[in-house]
Amino acid sequence: MIYLDHLASTPVAERVVEAMQTSLVANYANPHAAHGPAWQAHDEIALAAGRVAALIGADVGEITFTSGASEANNYAIKGVAFAGRGRGSHLIISAVEHACVLATARWLERQGFDITIVQPDANGIIHAAAVASAIRTETILVSVQLANNEVGSIQPIAEIAKHCRQNAVPMHCDAAQAIGKIPVDVTSLGIDLLSISGHKFYGPKGIGALWIASDCPIRPEPLIHGGGQQGGRRSGTVPTFLCSGLGVAADMATQWLTDDQDVPTIRASSFLAVLQESHVGFVENAADVARIPGCLSLRFPGACAQDVLDRLEGLVAASTGAACSAGNAEPSHVLRAMGLSDTEAAETVRFGFGRSTTENEAEAAAKAIVEAVQTARRRAA
């Protein structure tokens, strides 16, 4: 099967696997204990934190390891909300955030917080002016993702952050889809909190991180209490081998971002060329803005996306932008926010190309998709 779902999860890199295997055998001691083997594990975690910090231009002491971006997003949003209650209860998020951010905001709303949801334009972009107009004196957090997980649109975070700083409002950014794909520097962005997910850039699942600026206007309250590990920010024994894997993935990403060749973008271009030559007929979502490398959100009018993917089973792995209207699931909230109808959302497929995707795979996948789309259209006619 040709794997074109790298936005959902990437393969674990060989170097990452080797590092975790070594760590599991050599550094099994509790890194929070006070003896030689524990200090060795502690040093390995410190090395990993340093690598993650280097990837985003942060200080090592500002990194808190989490179980992934979902926890990091919850920690940032709930943590700041509870810590900032004395100042206000208003939070701003965008309509195109990952489900874990939107669900967190809805949960806070049930706890009495006031949530403003800012809508995007037709390309999925959240404009800084829209965020600025939503900020109030009682606003205690703005959360906008760096890159969208469905259509890949890159948000104007630095511009949004300027308005936040002018109002002393902390800004959180979910960067799960951007890390390892585009350069990310927290100082240049001007933000206060940033979430990371290991399995989105060739690291393991079950590990991520939250960067909290040392001068964050409102420092988040911990969500997990216990032994006070990680400076009290997140209690619980830190998994040495997972941290090691994340650190190696971060180190590899730092090197990749200096490469001259952007493999995912090149493969996506070859894929599109085959589709265009076939005259299969498609619409590229968010075509007019900068997107993360290797992300394509394509709508095939007249073909249900789930039908297309069902016909690709065993050949190509990809994701729907939304469930078919005949299904039980709701259409993609991202595509709806961008102005697509339920029918249009149900015709959308997301393709994610990775660093290991070959030219032959990209072209073969496109040919298989052309056939699947044509068959789906005949069935729907």
Which sign, positive or negative, has the C-alpha torsion 170, 84, 59, 226?
negative
How many residues appear in the chain? 381
Task: Point out the residues that are catalytic.
Answer: 324
**Residue 338, SS3?**
coil
**Residue 193, SS3?**
strand
Strands 114-118 and 90-94 come out as parallel
**Residue 367, SS3?**
helix
Angle subtended at Cα 344 by Cα 340 and Cα 349, rounded to the nearest 5 degrees = 110
Token pair of 379 as six digits? 């069935």
**Residue 10, SS3?**
coil
Contact 376, 303 (CB under 8 A): yes
Phi, psi at 374, each rounded to 5°: -60, -40
Alpha carbon distance 218, 168 (integer Å): 9
Nearest to residue 144, comparing CAs of 133, 153, 155?
A: 155
